[in-house]
Structure 1
């Protein structure tokens, strides 16, 4: 399960539409759709119901959404922590 796949999943879940999620992520729709399909394939279950006006989370998607948001928040927190440590460990400039 890649971070990119989780980011794609959360964007589609929040937007309810692949096109809007693709715009939000600054990618085109085909790779975004492939990310979702790859995640569903890896998990062995569909996460969305494809509806005429977009995508609706299935109970399986609802179950993943909370975890995906938490994982992405932890990744952001880890990056912030590392950046802060790098700033703190720089030698003083004269």
Structure 2
């Protein structure tokens, strides 16, 4: 799972703009576009409608956004718990 693709999608969904999302993520606009294309290819559905003035979520994008946000929150929690377990002294370290 590439969490960067999810983070990029959620930032575009939040800002409704590739350029603003790119600035917020410290990426180029072309990198954001490439990540969105990669994610849409992986999902198998268009997630965004683009035109010269705006970016809108498709119906699939609306559904995906909610799940993506939940998934990232779960992923962060899983990583925190793993780090805590690794530092808890529950295992034998040589």
Q: The TM-score by the shorter chain falls in which range? A: 0.7 to 0.9
User: What TM-score do you get using the length of structure 2 for normalisation?
Assistant: 0.84
Mapping of 1:6-85 within 5 angstroms? 6-85=6-85
> After TM superposition, where is structure 1 displaced by more than 4 Å over at least 4 residues in a row?
none
Verify the 8 A CA contact 1:18 1:54 in the aligned structure 2.
no
Task: Please identify, of 49-58 and 7-16, the stretch whose mean Cα deviation from structure 2 is larger.
Answer: 49-58
Distance of aligned partners of 1:9 and 1:89 in 2 relative to their CA distance in 1, 3 Å threshold = same
What RMSD, in angstroms, separates the aligned Cα atoms of the two structures?
Answer: 1.6
Verify the 8 A CA contact 1:46 1:58 in the aligned structure 2.
yes
1:4 corresponds to 2:1: no
Cα deviation digits, residues 36-83 of structure 1 (max 9, x gap): 011112222211111333311010100101110011001111111122
Verify the 8 A CA contact 1:16 1:54 in the aligned structure 2.
yes
Number of matched residues?
90
User: What TM-score do you get using the length of structure 1 for normalisation?
Assistant: 0.84
